[in-house]
């Protein structure tokens, strides 16, 4: 199938990626725009995983203040170079994640930040729930418990939550897409969410 300039432009407008990457994705997907987007998303995640070990010593503080003036978020987003940190694309990452935190109110950035006693308490609750389903082998019980923990992560951990601007992906997927696009490792280090009158 012939890949036309109009098809490439359409894909570029949807992904923000360069001409050559869009052309390659359309060729690989036989001109199907949705398949091309999926191809780019998968390739972006693969590229992002290769960059995950690289040091991030630059970055910016992203922020979001709700129009009511009663809710605000600060988020520290790190990258590798000051050059990338100053780009509009990178600044948008900080704003998008701050807006997400304002909307979804996560407690932790990553599951690794959850205290061991909190995780164990959740496990106990899930094991109790599973035991009420009847006799099940221990390995099945643990699989069900781990599945429930994954769901728990998607509620309380920023990186595992469905992204507020596109719930077909997680915040982690969104960040990986930006890593692929900007060519640098990006890390969300921490955030602070303040709501007027809310208890600490």
| Distance, CA of 80 to CA of 39 (rounded, Å) | 26
The domain in which residue 131 lies consists of 115-147
Task: Tell me 133's DSSP state.
Answer: T
Residue 41 lies in a domain: yes
Q: Give the CATH number of the domain where residue 186 resides.
A: 3.30.479.20
Residue where the block lists tokens 């692929």 = 180
Rounded percentage of the chain residues whose pLDDT exceeds 90: 52
Residue pair 95/64 in contact by the 8 Å Cβ criterion: yes
User: Any idea what the Cα angle at residue 198 is, between residues 197 and 200, rounded to 5°?
Assistant: 125
Predicted confidence (pLDDT) per residue in 102-132, tens digit? 999 999 999 999 999 999 999 999 988 887 7
163 and 81 together in one domain: yes
Residue 74 has pLDDT above 60, yes or no: yes
Residue 90: name the closest of 76, 110, 102, 100 by CA. Answer: 76
Which pLDDT does position 139 carry in this prediction?
80
Mean pLDDT of 24-45: 81
Range of lowest pLDDT (60-64, 97-101, 182-186)? 182-186
């Amino acid at each position: 199938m012939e890949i036309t300039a109009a098809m490439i432009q359409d894909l570029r407008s949807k992904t923000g990626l360069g001409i050559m990457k869009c052309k390659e994705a359309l060729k690989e997907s036989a001109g199907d725009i949705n398949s091309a987007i999926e191809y780019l998303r998968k390739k972006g995640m693969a590229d992002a995983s290769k960059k995950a070990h690289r040091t991030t010593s630059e970055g910016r503080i992203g922020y979001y203040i709700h129009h009511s003036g009663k809710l605000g978020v600060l988020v520290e987003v790190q990258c590798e170079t000051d050059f990338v940190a100053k780009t509009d694309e990178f600044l948008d990452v900080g704003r998008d994640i701050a807006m997400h935190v304002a909307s979804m109110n996560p407690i932790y950035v990553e599951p690794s930040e959850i205290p061991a006693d909190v995780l164990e308490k959740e496990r106990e609750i899930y094991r109790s729930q599973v035991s009420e389903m009847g006799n099940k082998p221990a390995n099945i019980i643990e699989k069900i418990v781990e599945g429930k923990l994954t769901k728990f992560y998607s509620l309380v951990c920023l990186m595992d939550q469905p992204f507020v601007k596109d719930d077909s992906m997680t915040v982690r997927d969104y960040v990986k897409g930006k890593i692929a696009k900007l060519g640098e490792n990006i890390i969300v280090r921490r955030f602070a969410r303040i709501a007027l009158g809310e208890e600490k």
